[in-house]
Amino acid sequence: MTRASCRGAGFSVPRRTSVRRVADAISTWAGCGYSPVAPGTVGSVAAIGIALIIEHYAGWKPISFAALAAIVLLPAIWAAGETARQAGMKDPQFVVVDEVVGQWLALGGARALNWKSYLAAFLLFRLFDIWKPFPVRQLESLPGGVGIVADDLMAGLYAALVLFLAGWFNLY
């Protein structure tokens, strides 16, 4: 059915609107990014919540969350870039899929999953995401969705490394 015949049939399905909706749903993590207070933190909390559910029902280990971050990476870059372009902004605050990917990568560094490791992963990721030590801040200058997501990936990697070392020394 062509676009013209769809209109003639009484409904219209513009492709551009559908692409925007998909990009918006992914980039805002189903609307978490529209939180009026701390949207990045809300995105991180949502990522932790999903991880808790997956771990409880599917028995996933920490490395599985690093793999999940890798699987979601390309859609996240696309959606973040598309949403930023549509908004006419370099890195809109309401784009939080980058926090989700970074948070899951941080969880991938845990040696065991328990309330302490979840809390540590959350706090460490938020610390590195806000502090932005080298090269986290520099990665923001990359173009489009890559720049939006890359800094959070690096913050997640730092958090994962610290979490791994803390687990190695049985600190959680």
Residue range 37-92, pLDDT digits in tens: 999 999 999 999 999 999 999 999 999 999 999 999 999 999 999 999 999 999 99
Residue 33 contacts residue 95 (beta carbons within 8 Å) = yes
Cα 37 to chain centroid, rounded: 17
Q: Which pLDDT value is given to residue 2? A: 41
Q: Closest by alpha carbon to 125, among 150, 106, 147, 151?
A: 106
How far is Cα 146 from Cα 153, in angstroms, rounded to an integer?
10
User: Has residue 11 got a pLDDT over 80?
Assistant: no
pLDDT in tens, 102-124: 999 999 999 999 999 999 999 99
Q: Whose CA is closest to 156, among 133, 144, 39, 56?
A: 133
Q: What is the pTM of this model?
A: 0.89
Rounded Cα–Cα distance for residues 114 and 171 (Å): 12
pLDDT band at 14 (very low <50, low <70, confident <90, very high): low
As a whole number of angstroms, the distance between CA 22 and CA 30 comes to 10
